[in-house]
């Protein structure tokens, strides 16, 4: 009886674990514009469009610059700093400090 029950339980456990083990779909990043900042030698202004598919995510990362964020559609969850969860941004703009 134990052998007969063990196989279906292992199979059910594998089926339940499979969806969570899949990586999040990658974001599509497109550079829209890049311009040197005249008053700041060696610095540039960079505009990107980042499109996340449903369920998409980025790994924890940092920007060595200020980030101006504008959500065109849907909502995203952002975290600035190690312990600061800013929560959801819904089709609005936000500002994140460098680092």
12 band by pLDDT with thresholds 50, 70 and 90: very low
Report yes or no on 5 lying in a domain: no
d(CA 57, CA 59): 7
pTM above 0.85, yes or no: no
Residues 13, 15, 21, CA angle at the centre, nearest 5°?
A: 95
Locus of tokens 């083990």:
21
The encoded tokens of residue 34 equal 């890049």
Q: Which residue has the higher pLDDT, 11 or 87?
A: 87
Report yes or no on 6 lying in a domain: no
d(CA 43, CA 68): 16
49 band by pLDDT with thresholds 50, 70 and 90: very high
pLDDT of residue 2 exceeding 70, the answer is no
Report yes or no on 3 lying in a domain: no
Print the domain residue range for 60. 24-96
Report the domain count for the chain.
Answer: 1
Report yes or no on 64 lying in a domain: yes
Cβ pair 48, 29 in contact under 8 A = yes
Report yes or no on 29 lying in a domain: yes
Report yes or no on 12 lying in a domain: no
């Amino acid at each position: 009886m134990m052998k007969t029950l063990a196989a279906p339980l292992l199979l059910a456990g594998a089926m339940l674990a499979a969806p969570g083990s899949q990586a999040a779909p990658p974001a599509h990043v497109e550079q829209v514009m890049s311009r040197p900042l005249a008053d700041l030698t060696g610095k540039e202004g960079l505009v990107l469009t980042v499109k996340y598919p449903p369920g998409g995510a980025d790994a924890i990362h940092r920007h060595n610059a200020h980030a101006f964020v504008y959500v065109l559609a849907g909502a995203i969850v952002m975290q600035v700093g190690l312990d600061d969860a800013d929560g959801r941004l819904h089709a609005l703009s936000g500002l994140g400090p460098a680092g």
